[in-house]
């Protein structure tokens, strides 16, 4: 067992874990944050996407031990004071989800995308989400949601998800 210390959604976590414990399972089973889903075996689908130090990553292909000393933000950590994050609000308004299984990962990937490219074209959104699979929506409304979120954020910049300093 290895001791890890990290912040998850702004809160300090300290746990003993098996080295092979995947970050996605650490978040779901140890932290009780079950929004991130496991949808595949081959780092293909992106349903497990979270932010690691502000960048989108597939948490099924990160070991929990690799996240020690870093900060993780999950879909549960996006909204503040009961207000939806602009990306979440845009997904809801634009019917950017149906069954919802891919949604937390899709939202996190979109947040990551907009952090790096605040004014994407439609094409850039589609390419920016190439790592996230959805079987229900055909992506049409997801793309609209991300473009709408980009516009909304341009008008009223959202604060970046809280990233507390971690003392190792």
Q: Are strands 71-73 and 55-58 parallel, antiparallel or unpaired?
A: unpaired
Site string for another protein, 149-168 (x = CB under 8 A): --------------------
Site size for another protein (CB under 8 A): 78
- Compute the least distance from the CB of residue 138 to another protein, in Å: 3
**What residues from 110 to 149 belong to the interface with another protein (CB under 8 A)?**
112-113, 116, 122, 125-144
Minimum distance from residue 155 beta carbon to another protein (Å): 21
CB 144 within 8 A of CB 94: yes
Q: Do the Cβ atoms of 18 and 65 come closer than 8 Å? A: no
What does the DSSP assignment read for 29-66? IIS----S----SSS-S-TTEEEETTEEEEGGGSBGGG
Q: Of residues 14-73, which lie at the interface with another protein (CB under 8 A)? A: 18-22, 25, 28, 34-47, 49, 52, 55-58, 60-63, 65-66, 69
């Amino acid at each position: 067992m290895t001791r890890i210390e990290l912040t998850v959604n702004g809160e300090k976590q300290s746990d003993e874990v098996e080295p092979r414990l995947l970050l996605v399972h650490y978040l779901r089973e140890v932290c009780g944050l079950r929004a991130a889903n496991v949808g595949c075996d081959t780092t293909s689908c992106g349903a497990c996407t979270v932010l690691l130090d502000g960048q989108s990553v597939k948490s099924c292909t990160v070991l929990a031990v690799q996240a020690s000393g870093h900060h993780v933000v999950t879909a549960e950590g996006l909204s503040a004071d009961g207000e939806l994050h602009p990306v979440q609000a845009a997904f809801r308004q634009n019917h950017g989800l149906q069954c919802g299984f891919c949604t937390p990962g899709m939202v996190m990937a979109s947040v990551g995308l907009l952090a790096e490219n605040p004014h994407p074209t439609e094409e850039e959104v589609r390419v920016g989400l190439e790592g996230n699979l959805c079987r229900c929506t055909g992506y049409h409304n997801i793309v609209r949601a991300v473009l709408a979120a980009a516009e909304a954020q341009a008008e009223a910049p959202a604060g970046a998800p809280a990233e507390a300093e971690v003392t190792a």
